[in-house]
Amino acid sequence: MHATPTLQVNNDRTVVTEWRFAPGADTGHHVHAMDYVVVPLTTGTLRLEEPTGVREVQLTAGVSYARPAGVAHNVVNVNNYEFVFVEIELK
């Protein structure tokens, strides 16, 4: 089962997408083409399946982080509840 993206903004400078993950849902493996910022709306744990291995990260609602273009991973919701974040990509 895949996470559900909802495009909120797509203009000449940014792409803003809300991502909703049911328990066990994932994004599918992908590579980020742009620098991006993630704003968690939920507190919980996500599993990152990366080329170097698998790790779990704890995210807190309202505590944002940024990553550069080129990140390759699959993101999986390992919580027993829906997890939501907003992703802001910088063109």
Q: What is the mean pLDDT of the chain?
A: 98
Phi, psi of 74 (to 5 degrees): -120, 135
DSSP 21-46: E-TT-B--SEE-SSEEEEEESS-EEE
Tell me the average pLDDT across 54-70: 98
Strands 53-59 and 83-90 turn out to be unpaired
CATH 2.40.160.20 is right for the domain spanning 4-90: no
Query: Residue ranges of the domains in the chain?
Result: 4-90
Q: What is the pTM of this model?
A: 0.95
What integer pLDDT is reported at residue 72 of this predicted model? 98
Phi, psi of 7 (to 5 degrees): -70, 125
